[in-house]
Amino acid sequence: MGEPQVGFIRTADYRETYANSIILEQTAWDLKMTFGMLDGAAVNQNLGISIPWPQAKLMLFWLRLQVESAEATVGVKIPLRSDILPPEPSVLTPEQEADPTIRRFQDLYVKLREEFLKTI
């Protein structure tokens, strides 16, 4: 027997908003996304949402599917300005280089950045 189907009901306080800025913060339990809108030289933050890591991992899949589907529909890659691309990683200090956790993160960042840049 399969999982029961879940229905979706929008509550009275449901709202939609636009954001062109997202700041991510992490804890051991969840990922917090703070949404805002650039207004001149400042970002007005107006919504924060925290989700558990399993949901974040699923969202990663669904976001990629939506982006690649949108690009396939219009037949072009979504353009990104060079000033908003993930930056080159900083050179590690000798102390950081000796820390296996920092080194693993650096290697992962480089790998994911290279993969991402191939998609634009």
Q: pLDDT value at position 104?
A: 97
Domain assignment present for 102: yes
Chain segment 74-90, per-residue pLDDT in tens: 999 999 999 999 999 99
Domain assignment present for 120: yes
Domain assignment present for 103: yes
Domain assignment present for 91: yes
Comparing CA positions, the residue from 81, 78, 87 lying closest to residue 112 is 87
- Structurally, how many domains does the chain consist of? 1
In the predicted model, what is the mean pLDDT of residues 27-46? 96
Domain assignment present for 57: no
Range of the domain at 116: 80-120
In the predicted model, what is the mean pLDDT of residues 45-64? 97
Confidence of residue 1 (pLDDT cuts 50, 70, 90): low
The alpha helices in the chain, defined as continuous H runs, are 53-74, 94-97, 100-117
> What pTM, to 2 d.p., does this model score?
0.79
d(CA 102, CA 42): 31
